[in-house]
Amino acid sequence: MEQNVSQELVEAGRGYESLFVPALFEQWTKHLIEGAGIEAGWHVLDVACGTGVLARQALSRTGSGGRVVAVDPAPGMLIAAREIEPSIDWILCSAEALELEDETFDSVISQFGMMFFEDRQKSAEEMFRVLKPGGSLAIAVWNSVDHNPAYADIIIVLQEQVGVAAADALRLPYSLGNTEEVTTLLDNTEFSDISVETMVETARFPSSRHMVEAELRGWLPLFDIFLSEAEIDDVLIESDKTLSKYANSSGEAIFPTSAHVITARKN
Ligand SMILES: C[S@@+](CC[C@H](N)C(=O)[O-])C[C@H]1O[C@@H](n2cnc3c(N)ncnc32)[C@H](O)[C@@H]1O
């Protein structure tokens, strides 16, 4: 249970749900639900659930005869998640230490979280532990930044305008683009039928300004990088120029994103 969570963290969670989920994340959920083969009545766990977009899709597939549990270590995300869907069991814990019984779930799913796990091997072991024999796993990780051109463009602007640390902070989500690390750790954990499918989906932000400003004000501070208003203005002026190629006639920023969906099974 999340207690004494600052209003700032709760607002950050709500902000993630209203901007990033529809722009970048929601379109991937169908691939995870299909990849895991989720069926009515199943018990499903979403790891690194954020505000729960994937967990909600799982619930719509399992129906009222199933059960969906979702975990994340960020309390502001879970509070925002519970406001939207109280009937999912939202649990505050990390992927490396799932506070759940052994062999409980028919499927474990996780999208765009594994890049941030401190101990990925341990997280794979935990997912394996809580799966029932025969249970399915589906994980999504971003492809490398070369395959995600809009973020490659922003990284160049950040490197030139702010410095390497800011550019590296934005590279982190793309750090598992070479899938060998994930497939090896699943293999080491005795998952079977490991398979990787690389897919493309379209991202759609209200404008490139919304997208870049959210990274500057929301993401960089997590790495102790705090820009002045003047620095933010400078980055936005540069990124407006670079990202104008993705703008449609209404000013929305629309661009392709590429990710790997990795599926496996516990025998
Ligand atoms: C990019 S968000 C993805 C959230 C959600 N799956 C979605 O698709 O919107 C990454 C999430 O990973 C979570 N996260 C970071 N480290 C984690 C860890 N060690 N264990 C579990 N979740 C973690 C963050 O709190 C954040 O909610």
Residues 240-252 have a mean pLDDT of: 97
3-state secondary structure of 6: coil
128 and 150 in a common domain: no
Q: Is 90 in the pocket of ligand 1 (CB under 6 A)?
A: no
Work out the pLDDT band at 1, boundaries 50, 70, 90: low
β-bridge partners, 204: 254
CATH number of domain containing 195? 3.40.50.150
185 and 81 in a common domain: yes
4 and 113 in a common domain: yes
Question: What's the pLDDT score for residue 4?
Answer: 86
Running DSSP on this structure, what letter comes out for residue 206? S
130 and 220 in a common domain: no
Q: Which domain holds residue 211?
A: 144-174+207-251
Protein residue with its CA nearest to atom 6 in ligand 1: 49
191 and 115 in a common domain: yes
Protein residue with its CA nearest to atom 14 in ligand 1: 48
84 and 150 in a common domain: no
Q: Is 23 in the pocket of ligand 1 (CB under 6 A)?
A: no
Number of separate domains in the chain = 2
> How many CA atoms within 13 Å lie on the side-chain side of 217?
16
The pLDDT > 90 percentage for the chain reads 98
Question: What's the pLDDT score for residue 223?
Answer: 92
Protein residue with its CA nearest to atom 27 in ligand 1: 50
Identify which of 28, 32, 49, 54 to mutate to test ligand 1's pocket (most ligand atoms within 8 A of the CB): 49
Residues 140-163 have a mean pLDDT of: 97
pLDDT tops 90 at residue 208: yes
pLDDT tops 70 at residue 244: yes
What average pLDDT does the chain have? Answer: 96
Residues 193-203 have a mean pLDDT of: 98
Q: Is 77 in the pocket of ligand 1 (CB under 6 A)?
A: yes
The pLDDT > 70 percentage for the chain reads 99
131 and 42 in a common domain: yes
Residue 115 in contact with residue 153, Cβ under 8 Å?
Answer: no
**Percent helix, strand and coil across the chain, each rounded to 5?**
50, 25, 25
pLDDT tops 90 at residue 2: no
86 and 63 in a common domain: yes
Tokens of 103: 């062999």
pLDDT tops 80 at residue 39: yes
Residue 29 in contact with residue 57, Cβ under 8 Å?
Answer: yes
169 and 119 in a common domain: no
Distance CA(266)–CA(205), nearest Å, equals: 38
Question: What's the pLDDT score for residue 123?
Answer: 98
Residue 131 in contact with residue 154, Cβ under 8 Å?
Answer: no
138 and 214 in a common domain: no
Give the tens place of pLDDT for each residue, 41-83. 999 999 999 999 999 999 999 999 999 999 999 999 999 999 9
Work out the pLDDT band at 3, boundaries 50, 70, 90: confident
Question: What's the pLDDT score for residue 103?
Answer: 98
Query: Residues with Cβ < 8 Å from 45, sequence gap 6 or more?
Result: 68, 69, 70, 71, 98, 100, 104, 105, 107, 108, 109, 127, 130
135 and 150 in a common domain: no
pTM > 0.85: yes or no: yes
Residues 140-167 have a mean pLDDT of: 97
pLDDT tops 90 at residue 30: yes
158 and 95 in a common domain: no
Residue 130 in contact with residue 139, Cβ under 8 Å?
Answer: no
